[in-house]
Amino acid sequence: MFIKNCLTPREQILTVTPDARLEQVIETLQAHQLHTIPVVDRFNRFLGITGYGHMMKAFLDNRRSWKEGTVADTLEPIRPLTIFSDFEETLPVIVRHPFVPIVDGDRMTFLGIVKISDIENALSSAFGTNIPGIRLLLGVVIDMPHQLEHVVDAVKPFDVNIISITTFDAGDPAARRILLKIELTPHLSAIQQRLVDKGLRVLSVKERRIP
């Protein structure tokens, strides 16, 4: 997965400048049913975001009419990712902000945003969420060598395609989990037994067929 494949480009995004009047920004947000909007300067350098929540906070902090202010008064700086950043770097940003700002390699020139829907679609594709198959959650000990090799070897004799395979922490420093999804097969019981024989624990098995 590459950020460039999930990017909504600058040309398709509304932006405001730091000297824009808040009254004007509110009209823009209302007209386009937005809650937040990127802020760039006249050189197309990304500065941060603003929106209804930022304006309300500025009003409560300063106790003055929002009509008197500009975007600069409500600007929230956000550290953007570059077009060359790894896709997974979008995750800690999107849980804190409404979108992920993306800049060029100079770390300033605004190129666009990655939306939460783009990240959802990318993760859904990576996990094979909408593909019929069998999902197996496996448990392994952290010092067990060749874990993924054992998983592949367990499936290989049955000519079953692997849809996705992911590893993650189990919340215990001595254990990990492997999430394996394979295509539908009548050899499931035999595959499970081979996994067990290779030292893996089968914690969960779920089957997804075409609705």
- pLDDT for res 173: 74
- pLDDT for res 1: 75
- pLDDT for res 179: 96
Task: Write down the architecture of domain 3-122 according to CATH.
Answer: Roll (3.10)
Give the residue from 99, 88, 95 showing the smallest Cα distance to 13. Answer: 99
Mean pLDDT of 186-210: 94
In the chain, list all ranges with CATH 3.30.70.260: 131-208
In the chain, list all ranges with CATH 3.10.580.10: 3-122
Helices 147-155 and 188-197: crossing angle in degrees, nearest 10, is 150
- Percentage of the residues of the chain whose pLDDT score is greater than 90: 80
- Does residue 195 register a pLDDT over 90? yes
Q: Cα-flanking dihedrals φ and ψ of residue 90, to 5°?
A: -70, -25
- Does residue 144 register a pLDDT over 90? no
The answer to whether residues 21 and 10 touch, using CB atoms and an 8 Å cutoff, is: no
- pLDDT for res 66: 66
The answer to whether residues 177 and 147 touch, using CB atoms and an 8 Å cutoff, is: no
> pLDDT-based confidence at 170, cuts 50/70/90?
confident
The answer to whether residues 39 and 99 touch, using CB atoms and an 8 Å cutoff, is: no
- What fold does the segment set 131-208 form as a domain? Alpha-Beta Plaits (3.30.70)
Rg, the chain, Cα only: 24
What are the b/e assignments for 136-152, b being 16+ CB within 10 Å?
A: bebebeeeeeebeebbe
Pairing of strands 133-141, 175-182: antiparallel
Mean pLDDT of 116-137: 93
The answer to whether residues 7 and 82 touch, using CB atoms and an 8 Å cutoff, is: no
- Does residue 171 register a pLDDT over 90? no
Mean pLDDT of 115-122: 94
pTM of structure: 0.83
